[in-house]
């Protein structure tokens, strides 16, 4: 995903919804909210296109890793057979080829894991952005109704700069609507904070899992290699 798009989406996700609503109130119009909605929709479309591209790359890298890993595994068995048959020259050539395939396999694995992490981050960003879009669209309609109600009751919105101010105009119905809007936005912000915390935990867990798997793989190679060497010495 392009850095510029990444930054725009983060800005939209972290936008202060209370501030957007207050600016709409100050202008006595929902146009501020409409502009935010248009920006979210444009960037959401761009994000989905980028996510699809990265998702395809992830599948390709995973397939290439599996192909090279399987080829390396077969070649490793063939080398044992060649050594047992005394074909040392062929075994040496096969070992060199095995080294290359193992290196390529590792490179594809690392690229796959890196792209997979990026892909999951993009999917998470999409969910957050969709949630913000749903919230702002809902609050747009609530705010529009609130503005119409205030106008019908002859409340001068030009002197009202925020939901806090509007909730104290002395009209129970208007105060109730403004408090409901504030509560829903606060709840949406809390959900966003929770989702961000979960993403950090998931990324950290994935990194730890990859490191453990790498360590186990090195241990397997060492143990199996030592076992194979012991068997050959015994046969000799």
Task: Report pLDDT digits (tens) over 14-68.
Answer: 888 888 888 888 887 889 889 999 999 999 999 999 999 999 999 999 999 999 9
- For the chain, what is the domain count? 1
Which domain, by its residues, includes 54? 3-235
DSSP of 144-172: HHHHHHHHHTT--GGG--SHHHHTTSS-H
Reading the block at residue 183, the tokens are: 């509560």
Specify the pTM. Answer: 0.65
Reading the block at residue 75, the tokens are: 């070649």
């Amino acid at each position: 995903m392009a850095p510029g798009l990444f930054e725009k989406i983060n800005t939209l996700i972290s936008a202060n919804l209370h501030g957007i609503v207050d600016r709409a109130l100050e202008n006595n119009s929902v146009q501020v909210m409409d502009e935010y909605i248009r920006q979210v929709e444009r960037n959401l479309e761009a994000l989905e296109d980028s996510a699809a591209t990265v998702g395809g790359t992830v599948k390709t890298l995973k397939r290439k890793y599996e192909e090279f890993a399987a080829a390396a595994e077969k070649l490793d068995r063939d080398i044992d057979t060649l050594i047992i048959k005394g074909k040392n020259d062929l075994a040496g050539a096969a070992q060199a080829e095995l080294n290359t395939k193992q290196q390529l396999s590792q490179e594809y694995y690392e690229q796959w894991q890196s792209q997979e992490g990026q892909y999951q981050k993009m999917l998470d960003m999409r969910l957050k952005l969709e949630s913000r879009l749903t919230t702002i669209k809902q609050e747009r309609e609530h705010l529009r109704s609130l503005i119409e109600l205030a106008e019908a009751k002859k409340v001068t919105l030009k002197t009202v700069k925020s939901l806090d101010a509007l909730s104290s105009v002395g009209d129970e119905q208007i105060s109730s609507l403004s408090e409901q809007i504030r509560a829903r936005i606060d709840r949406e912000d809390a959900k966003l904070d929770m989702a961000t915390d979960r993403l950090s935990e998931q990324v950290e867990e994935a990194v730890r899992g990859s490191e453990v798997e790498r360590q186990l793989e090195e241990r397997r190679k060492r143990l199996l290699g030592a076992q194979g060497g012991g068997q050959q010495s015994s046969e000799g």
